[in-house]
């Protein structure tokens, strides 16, 4: 009996050892990062007959459990242009709250419509106080369209949010397997899938089959190093955008001032040239205490900062390389902090 018992024990040991070793390996493996989806709507969810919910979007992602523990919540479900500035503030508060309340949360993915995606992403880049990854994602085709790329974009966004290398890079925009910085990216085509580009600055990285790869960093201030805090803010000061064109009337600028604008961003020609009666209208605005930011409508290049001596001139800010719609966001946030033109110019230089 004893030899038989010894043989049985040897057999059981041989059979169980691989299983026990595998169980130990699983216990030793680090847990997958926890990534939460916050869905706001947009084309990515705009299915014919009813919008996809956050839960349904995650259900479209077979294999996401290879990269992350996927969570989700519904913030809104509308076109990006229907979101209000107040909702932007609430979204920033929500994301800051989630990271503060759950240290185990590794990153967040936010869905957005593509039309104003770059604006919301830049707003979050300036108002989130975290080094953890926040990725904004959308799609150019809706779920009822042949070739819908939303699921692929969303899976790529989860992968980027879960990648340790994404930490500290600010808010990221991921579509078409490309990673761009929120500050630099812009929508360049009304229809094409490769619409989101960073023009002269280029991609931050790519999402390939084997891994997420980065090629460079963003040096401007953002997220954890940002001074902007909207936790006690319900809405932002009114700032409008006007465009320079041949023979442009300054009446539009004057009307915006009279209607209560606290700031106006001018998408000027070239490196800051105005036209028509715009210069006189800008003087009118500054005499009324309204800040003017001069940017370029060209899509790239800088409007360089310069010193100002007179009191009205200190209300004119040079927008550096920010596009007009992003300069508007920075000015709105700057006006929640200060009414000092030199301080606002510093912000445009640093952010």
Find out whether 201 and 164 touch, Cβ atoms under 8 Å. no
* Cα–Cα distance for residue pair 345/327, rounded to 1 Å: 11
Tell me the catalytic residues: 43
Place of tokens 């003087």: 283
Instruction: Give the DSSP letter string of 31-79.
Output: PPPEEEEEEEESGGG--TTSPPPHHHHHHT-TTGGGT-EEEEEEEEEE-
Give the alpha-carbon dihedral of 59, 89, 108, 63, to 10 degrees: 20
- Beta 133-137 vs 69-78: how paired, if at all? unpaired
CA distance 56 to 46: 12
DSSP E strands in 69-181: the ranges are 69-78, 105-111, 133-137, 171-175, 178-181
Residues in the chain: 351
Q: Which residues, 6+ apart, have CB-to-CB distance to 149 below 8 Å?
A: 139, 140, 141, 175, 176, 193
């Amino acid at each position: 009996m004893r030899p038989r018992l010894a043989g049985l024990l040897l057999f059981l040991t041989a059979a169980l050892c691989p299983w026990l070793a595998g169980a130990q390996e699983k216990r030793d493996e680090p847990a997958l990062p926890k990534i939460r989806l916050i869905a706001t709507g947009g084309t990515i969810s705009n299915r014919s007959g009813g919008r996809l919910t956050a839960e349904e979007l995650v259900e479209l992602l077979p294999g996401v459990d290879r990269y992350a523990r996927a969570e989700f919540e519904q913030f809104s479900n509308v076109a990006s242009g229907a979101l209000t500035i107040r909702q932007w503030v609430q979204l920033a508060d929500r994301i800051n709250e989630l990271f503060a309340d759950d240290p185990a949360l590794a990153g967040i993915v936010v869905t957005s419509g593509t039309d104003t995606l770059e604006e919301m992403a830049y707003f979050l880049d300036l108002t989130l106080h975290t080094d953890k990854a926040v990725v904004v994602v959308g799609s150019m085709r809706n779920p009822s369209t042949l070739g819908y790329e939303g699921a692929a974009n969303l899976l790529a966004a989860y992968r980027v949010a879960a990648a340790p290398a994404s930490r500290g890079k600010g808010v990221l925009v991921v579509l078409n397997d490309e990673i761009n910085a929120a500050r630099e990216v812009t929508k360049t085509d009304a229809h094409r899938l490769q619409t989101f580009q960073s023009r002269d600055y280029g991609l931050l990285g790519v999402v390939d089959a084997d891994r997420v790869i980065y090629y460079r960093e963003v040096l401007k201030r953002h997220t954890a190093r940002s001074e902007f805090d909207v936790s006690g803010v319900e809405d932002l000061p009114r700032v409008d955008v006007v465009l320079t064109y041949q023979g442009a009337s300054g009446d539009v600028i004057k009307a915006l001032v009279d209607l209560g604008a606290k700031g106006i961003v001018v998408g000027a020609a070239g490196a800051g040239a105005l036209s028509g009666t715009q210069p006189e209208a800008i003087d009118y605005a500054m005499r009324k205490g309204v800040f003017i930011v001069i940017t370029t409508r060209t899509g790239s290049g800088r409007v360089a900062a310069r010193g100002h001596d007179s009191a009205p001139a200190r209300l004119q800010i040079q927008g550096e390389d920010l596009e007009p719609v992003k300069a508007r966001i920075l000015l709105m946030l700057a006006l929640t902090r200060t009414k000092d033109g030199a301080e606002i110019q510093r912000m445009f230089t640093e952010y």
